[in-house]
Amino acid sequence: MPSLFFTQDKSHSGFGFFLNSIRMRPIFSLFDNFMIQLEQLSLRRGGRVLFQKASMQLHPGWKIGLTGVNGAGKSTLFSALLGGIESDSGSLTRPAVWTVAHMAQEIKSLDMKAIDFVLSGDEEYWNIQHQLAHPDTLNDSELAHLYGRFDEIDGYSAAAKASQLMAGLGFFEHQSELNVSSFSGGWRMRLNLARTLMSRSDLLLLDEPTNHLDLDAILWLEDWLKAYEGTLVLISHDRDFLDAITDHILHIENQELILYTGNYSTFERTRSERLAQQQQAYEKQLETRAHLQKYIDRFKAQATKAKQAQSRIKQLERMQELSAAHVDTPFTFSFREPTKMSSPLLELENADIGYGDKLIVTNVNLQITPNSRIGLLGMNGAGKSTLIKALVGDLALMQGHRKDSELLNIGYFAQHQMDALDGNASPMLQLARIADKKISEATLRAFLGSFGFSGERMDTPSESFSGGERARLALALIVWKRPNVLILDEPTNHLDLDMRHALTMALQDFEGAVVLVSHERQLVASVCDELILVHGGRSREFDGDLVAYADWLRQARIDMIKNGQKPAAPVQSDVQIKPSISKLDKEAQRKETARRRELGRPIRKNIEKNEAQIAKLQPRLAEIEALLGDTALYETSRKDELLKLMNEQTELKAKVEQAEELMLELMMELEELEASFED
């Protein structure tokens, strides 16, 4: 039977003991020839070939990103590295003395302290601790050996290391004493990650470690993995995360396993160049084959040319047939045109938001218009999801006002929306429930097909679906309702890279408003033009980009650690309760507002006039710039045409600058006028 890997020797005697005694440093630092070796490796799953005849070496210390579409075979290769499956043919070997750490995807509800659960990730430390807890069962020699070994593995600093791991992943100091069973599923996954990182491993296998992390925890994990001295194999659909950590990409595509040098961005460029070259070679071969075939067809019947024709037949037969460049079909979809819109669509005024008597965010003032593209930022537990629930209407305001437009149509995506899908119903049935009965089945199937569901999967109960399939179905049901406001809370969890790219493109083209919470920096940067920071019980506009936000997060984490990871003080309301206004006062206010609006009307009209002029000139300027980019225009024969365009360009630029200067003056005048009203 084909071999996958060597059996690990964990003995504490002879050579094995020597190797374990220096576990502080990765084994490969002593033996550079230790590596993972693939020899003509082929893997199948369910009778389907994932990849075949893969041969390569993965060297110690490499940080490898394992990529490919969902179902390509990434998890199967992980299992092979762990020794959980047998190969179809060929072999996969790794050094027998390596310790492998792997993060399980689920953990049970344990009545075990969180800190102890994390510490148990260092198996040798945990076992020694267990033995030392029962000294009456050991003789003096055994005790001396255990204490000596405990010192060698830095056992006295293990608790501090575990606390640092928990702090880095967002846990407060007091939470280390809570039982694992008291945490939600997402927080248990964080505990599981901390336990995995606690292992003094030579090979670390991580499958989507960022799925349940906020950006602050992701940045911390990036720094930790960069400093990791062992070999890392990482499955992730977060390209920024891959870019920050990896130095090699192992990509599965078209039943091939291909190793690329560099991070994910380098991989994309290299892969594109390779595919372009492959396509070029293929097209050239097609041309050559057609030329040879044409000669053969023309002259094979002529006695004088028969010999040459036979020569070309043999040449054609010897030619190794190349295949066209093929990329797995990318996933694409688009949001339907929203229902009718008005502005604003949704407002929160002086809103206090929380649960019961516990205030989470105070004095929120937020207006959502059809053009809004808002990204909510903040550390874990700051209140981003709480604010979203208030926007959606799932959480009543403790104080303040919520104003909905009559035309408001919210599309809300969150983890619990996926969990709320009817597992007993197929995608077709769930879509038919919300669709107009007059719409044909063919139309519904075509719509689901645009979300990557084949004929068979359309009619399959969704209880068997993967996380990615459930996410796509939830998105499809939202899109069908044609919302004019999309409120998305971590929409990319469970989506692969192609799906994430498709979602980014669809959101960029969406004609309604977007409010987004996401740990994926590229998505936020591509979609949002307004950033709001939720922190310390307040919400404010964040003046900076995501790079500045990453710096802010790192500093906030340092400050938090200095304060001993203690929970923040209870939030106090900032809302100023205004005295009620009589009808007479309201009428006076209305008249004053109308008077002020009338005073500013001429200025605003002039601003609009200049804006319209600029908008009229810009297209022609863009057209001229495109024409000037044509190298043929600079030939001597077209000199007059070139001069004419350049003169026109100069004239138009002068008009635009004049209009912009005037508009700036008008805006300053309007600002001064409005400021005078406040005096």
Q: Is the pLDDT of residue 108 over 90?
A: no
pTM of the model: 0.67
Instruction: Supply the DSSP symbol for 567.
Output: P
372-403 pLDDT, tens per residue? 999 999 987 789 989 999 999 999 999 999 99
pLDDT of residue 1: 40
Task: Give CA 530 to chain center in angstroms.
Answer: 19
Assign 321 a pLDDT band (cuts: 50, 70, 90): low
76 touches 68 (CB < 8 A): no
Assign 13 a pLDDT band (cuts: 50, 70, 90): very low
State mean pLDDT over 217-239.
Answer: 93
Q: Helix, strand, or coil here: 136?
A: helix
Q: Is the pLDDT of residue 70 over 60?
A: yes
Q: Is the pLDDT of residue 582 over 70?
A: no
pLDDT of residue 308: 66
Q: Is the pLDDT of residue 483 over 70?
A: yes
CA distance 404 to 393: 10
Please give the residue that has the higher pLDDT: either 674 or 491: 491
pLDDT of residue 363: 94
Q: Is the pLDDT of residue 144 over 70?
A: yes
Q: What is the mean pLDDT of the chain?
A: 83
109 touches 181 (CB < 8 A): yes
Of the given ranges (4-13, 158-167, 278-287), which has the lowest mean pLDDT? Answer: 4-13
pLDDT of residue 109: 67
State mean pLDDT over 501-530.
Answer: 90
Largest CA distance in the chain: 112
Q: What is the CA radius of gyration of the chain?
A: 32
pLDDT of residue 23: 34
**Element containing residue 399 per DSSP (H, E):** strand 399-404
pLDDT of residue 29: 42
289 touches 312 (CB < 8 A): no
CA distance to 46, 353, 518, 597, per residue, from 385 (Å): 40, 11, 11, 38
CA distance 546 to 529: 11
488 touches 413 (CB < 8 A): yes
195 touches 118 (CB < 8 A): yes
pLDDT of residue 24: 38
pLDDT of residue 259: 94
Q: Is the pLDDT of residue 586 over 90?
A: no
pLDDT of residue 262: 94
Please give the residue that has the higher pLDDT: either 322 or 675: 675
